[in-house]
Chains A and B, each alone.
Chain A
Amino acid sequence: MTAKEPVTVIELTDHDAGDVLALELWDAAGAAPVAQALGFALPPVGASAGDDRCRAMRFEPNVWLVEGSGVDRAALAGAVGAHGAVTPIGGGLVRVILRGAGWRTLLMHDGVFDAENPAFAPGCTAATVIAHVAVRLNVVSEKRCDALVPASLAEGLIGRWRQVAAGL
């Protein structure tokens, strides 16, 4: 019988994610005004920028997710102008905040993504599938990872995460 892996502590909380917007730019010229509106440059693929008040995360080539209570939607839409489009999507998401050193281990269960890789460090994002559910991950710190989960599948996945977390 193997010894259990080192005991890890994890706290899991779920939150409304109604603030999340999908920002698509089909024109690179839109990056500068958007950066001005957000207060920081849009991050490259697989990375995030900003903080809890206003954050942008890039999961796809031309699409960023923008979140945070500090996002001025009108200003953002104005900055995007004809360079792209902004569409609210947060009604369909649940934000799960994983706190504690055990979040990496937790995400390896029922998953296919290398969350244990040290290169998946704060500021990194990833879109993956966990327990058949499409999940977007954002590493906020070494002890915190946020996950955006489709609302319809959140109950099952969060329940499974709680079950796994209890055994870590």
Chain B
Amino acid sequence: MSGETARFTFDGKSYTAQAGQTLAAALLANGVAVVARSFKYHRPRGIMAAGVEEPSALVTVGEGGRAEPNTRATDVFVYDGLVARSQNAWPSLAFDVGAVNGLAARLIPAGFYYKTFFGPPRRWMVYERFIRKAAGLGPAPQEADPDAFDHRAAFCDVLVVGAGPAGLAAALAATQAGQRVVLVEQDSLPGGALLREDARIDGQDGADWAQGTVAAIRAGGGRVLLRATATGYWDGNLVSVVERLAEPGQVPAPGTPVQRLWKVRCGKVLLATGAIERPLAFGGNDRPGVMLAQAVRHYVRRHGVVPGRRAVVATSNDDGYRTAFALADAGAQVLAVLDSRTVLAGPLVERARARFAVLADARPIDTRVAGRRLSRVIAQVGGAETTFAADLLAMSGGFTPVVHLHKQAGGDLAWDAAAQAFLPGTARQAQASIGAAAGGHALDAILAQGWAAGGGGARAFAVDDPLGLGTPAMAAAIPQAVRGKAFVDFQNDVSLGDVDLAWREGYRSVEHLKRYTTLGMGTDQGKTGNMAALARLAQAQGVEIPQAGLTTFRPPYTPTTLGAFAGAAVGDHAGPVRRLRLHAAHEALGAVWQPVGYWFRPRGYPRNGESLGAASLREARMVRESVGMVDVSTLATFEIAGPDAAALLEMACATTIGRLALGRGRYTVMLREDGMVMDDGTAWRLEEQRYLLTSSTGGADRMAQHLSWLRNVVAPDLKASVVNVQEHLGAVALAGPRAAAVLAELIGAAVPAHMRCARAMLAGIEVLVLAASYSGERAFEIYAPGHDMAVVWQALHEAVVAAGGGAYGLDAMDHLRVEKGHVVIGAEVDGRVTPADIGLGGMLRKQGGFVGWQGLQRPALADPAGRRHLVGVAAVDGQALPEGAMLVAREGDVPLGHVTTASPRVAPDPEGLTGGIGLALLTDGASRQGEELLAWSATRGQTVRVRVCEPVFYDREGARYRD
């Protein structure tokens, strides 16, 4: 450790930390024993672990939008200015009113809310408020997160997860073998277990060897990510890794994201994820001062912090003895080593006996505190009780290999009866577990295993461990009876008693046990507690642990902020935005924007404080009376060329295209294979063997896929090219009684007749003019390459304004098309209508040969009776129509249909009705003309009397747009 220090605060009090210390280490160094209150009983909790498995020491770090609640104090490195607060305590951590829950513990056992809060579901809305106040975690920040998150891909031959000895050896071997290597480590330093041990490798201190190995991997081209946690293992050997570029609550460097989500595609994955030490189950095992033995060693050796001066070490295995030596070497008094084994032997034990009191068949059974900190350890030694005046109890109940990623990858588990632990079994993807994660014990063997897994040739590592090799770890037995509360899941306050209660109440499955007691459902996902509870369940069932079952390992391995998943996709439109080529031109006209899928399109151009509704009506009337122009560049457009282009179109379109004369166009519909309408548009014959097909904006991608399927799958031998030119071509629709004159003037030539097309020059740009009307007025669609559209728009706009018109937006376009009864994909065409349902049945090619024809032959579709038909509906009492309203005979009746689109009237009604109009899908609608129904919107509380009519309200003969 360097001599640098950092200032931080905890609950408003200032402290100093040494560089590289975790918050947990710094709090321990400053003598802070209680750092949190437990979830349910609000019991005072200290620091138990040293890594991400910490169940109790949850704090909120950071301020404002950077505040990160439920941060493990063991997983945040202190930086200057760090602000940490305790949580789930009121009014203070020292005096927490919620601790009354502990006094009432007998009244609120596991599953108490299932028995207590009866009644209708709505009462839960009340209960939940109180429950959440009484028990919970840190509050989420109210402000937006000010920092950026990043997504990045990486590809490698070998991904090594964990930079402990096994992982480092594997990554080095793979790098030296010329592989593309990525090594990820959740800690800020490489080394893993080496950081807490006294061992030397190849003559170097373990931590130095780890640093040197990382340097060698990097020098060899390998990528090493520290503070990077592999959170999920997905199909196809894809591993998600979250890298912290700033600590929780810390202001990142300018221009730097705070976290980066790596998506790593791997040829092979080596899981060197280590093992997590298990706590012992005994009364009061959650007191501040009761810690995992390896964690104690970690704080002593890595951080130079001795968590207690008078220590008892309680263990079921040799590894616990190492902590006794570490404590003694650091100057602490080791009062005793309590070993639950009855026969103690081996060099490590003998060495310990020379320095400490080593007691066989000994285990802690209870603890006492003085001022919330551990003061007494009551132990059972043989058949007698002994009390130790200790302020630290270091416990080791065996080890749980971290098999989470192996399981997420679909791997099986194998049961190690001696260690009472699950080990990685058969792997289902290209992955292997190494080191302690695979049950490894001896350092030299772990290094050799890692080296071999990384593809290294024969090599031995010189390991010098002053304490020598202990015997493999054994798990502690779970006692049949305990005093007081012996916690297994410290985060959710689940005790052995709760597990026993669940068993007595009939919860036999581990999945039921989990949900009844909330075992393993905290933010730590039961990393330290699940095995003890499983052991207890197995005891009750009289089976081995594997037979008792296991819950599911799901990503993420550690809590992951949602920002990491979102990446850069945040803000009002959290996704890609498609901008029109003419965006700036619309903006200059004061457009109000409407998101349409990914597109942003002008909804209208209000003037002088005008409402959007008034603007759209004005714009629509402008089109009816003079001329208007609208940007329709988002329409799907496809150029289909080649000798078989017509044949391909005849497959895609249900109307006749093959006989289309050069320079002519036709309205058409495209069907799905089941006969339902998929899209509509127009087809134009531009050249002898070249057509343009247009279809809806919303269905553009679907139509592109459909045409690709036809071209490449259904008819791969056709000589036809299908090119999606939606992006290539911009388009402006020019509509109104003066449209032809305006356009003729601009192109200096006669305009094409209705449903004909022509090439022309407009403002020096070659354009394609399609004479087609969506508004009901004489109209033209003028197409040009996107990069030329600004020139075309400007020329058109000047001419249109001079003719008394202007631009109009989507709302006006909608009003106009409703009056003409034109359907829109997504409203009238909702995936459940046939061409006949929407009045287009007569257009279809009788001989078939198009996609969907077979589907239409089914009786349910061929018979129009009982089907929903497109109709018009007009409000008879002068009201506006509620869009989406149900059509019913009386309120509350089964709906006969619904209003698909509602609009104000643009043109006056010949019968003098002034209310809204709309299109609707109505059961047997074709035979209901003239009927009066109710448009009933229960959600809006609106009911409007409507008359069913033909779905055309304006110029039924089409005189307005024909020449």
Binding site for B on A (CB under 8 A): 1-2, 16, 18, 22, 24, 26-27, 82, 84-85, 87-93, 108-114, 116-117, 131-133, 150-153, 155-157, 160, 163-164, 166-167
Contacts and interface: CB of A to CB of B under 8 A. Distances in A.
A92 B726 contact: yes
B637 to A, nearest CB: 10
B155 interface: yes
B150 A109 contact: yes
Contacts of B228: 2
Contacts of A18: 785, 787
A110 B787 contact: no
Contacts of B581: 151-152
Contacts of B730: 91
Contact of A1 (B245, B643, B727, B729): B245
Nearest to B228: A2
A27 B643 CA distance: 12
B226 interface: yes
Contacts of B914: none
B575 interface: yes
Given A92-B725, A131-B576, A2 B226 contact: yes
Contacts of A88: 728, 785
Given A2-B227, A131-B568, A87 B785 contact: no
Q: Is the interface of A mostly helix, strand, loop or mixed?
A: mixed
Contacts of A84: 642, 721
B553 interface: no
B341 interface: no
A24 B788 contact: no
Contacts of A153: 576-579, 598
A100 B955 CA distance: 62
A135 to B, nearest CB: 12
29 contacts: A18-B785, A26-B718, A26-B719, A26-B720, A82-B643, A84-B642, A84-B721, A85-B642, A85-B721, A85-B723, A87-B723, A89-B725, A90-B787, A91-B787, A92-B785, A108-B152, A108-B154, A109-B150, A109-B152, A110-B151, A112-B153, A131-B568, A132-B569, A132-B576, A151-B727, A151-B786, A153-B576, A164-B150, A167-B256
A133 B576 contact: yes
Contacts of B151: 109-110
Given A1-B247, A88-B785, A151-B581, 14 more contacts: A1-B227, A2-B245, A26-B718, A87-B723, A87-B725, A91-B784, A91-B787, A92-B726, A92-B729, A109-B153, A151-B727, A152-B727, A153-B579, A156-B577
Nearest to B226: A2
A91 B723 contact: no
B255 A167 contact: yes
A109 B642 CA distance: 40
B386 to A, nearest CB: 47
Contacts of A110: 151-152, 567-568
Given A1-B227, A108-B153, A155-B579, A91 B568 contact: no
Contact of B599 (A16, A152, A166): A152
Interface string B228-249: 1000000000000001111100
Given A1-B226, A1-B227, A117-B155, A26 B642 contact: yes
A78 to B, nearest CB: 15
Contacts of A87: 639, 641, 721, 723, 725
Given A1-B226, A109-B150, A91 B263 contact: no
Contact of B576 (A24, A91, A156): A156
B265 interface: yes
A152 B578 contact: yes
Nearest to A25: B721
Nearest to B218: A3
B719 A1 contact: no
Task: Across the A-B interface, give the 4 residue pairs with the lowest CB-CB distance, nearest first.
Answer: A92-B727, A91-B785, A85-B721, A92-B728
- Most chain-B Cβ atoms within 10 A of its Cβ — which of A2, A27, A116? A2
A85 to B, nearest CB: 4
B217 interface: no
A166 B255 contact: yes
B580 interface: yes
B777 to A, nearest CB: 28
Given A152-B578, A153-B578, A160-B568, A90 B728 contact: yes
Contacts of A163: 568
B300 interface: no
A111 B265 CA distance: 12
B568 A113 contact: no
Contacts of A164: 150
Contacts of A155: 577, 579
B243 A2 contact: yes
A14 to B, nearest CB: 12
B224 interface: yes
B188 interface: yes
A67 to B, nearest CB: 14
A120 B665 CA distance: 45
A92 B633 CA distance: 11
Contacts of B245: 1-2
A24 B723 contact: yes
Contacts of A152: 578-581, 599, 727
A2 B225 contact: yes
Contact of A91 (B150, B569, B728): B728
Contacts of B785: 18, 88, 90-92
Contacts of A85: 641-642, 690, 721, 723
Given A1-B226, A167-B255, A89 B723 contact: yes
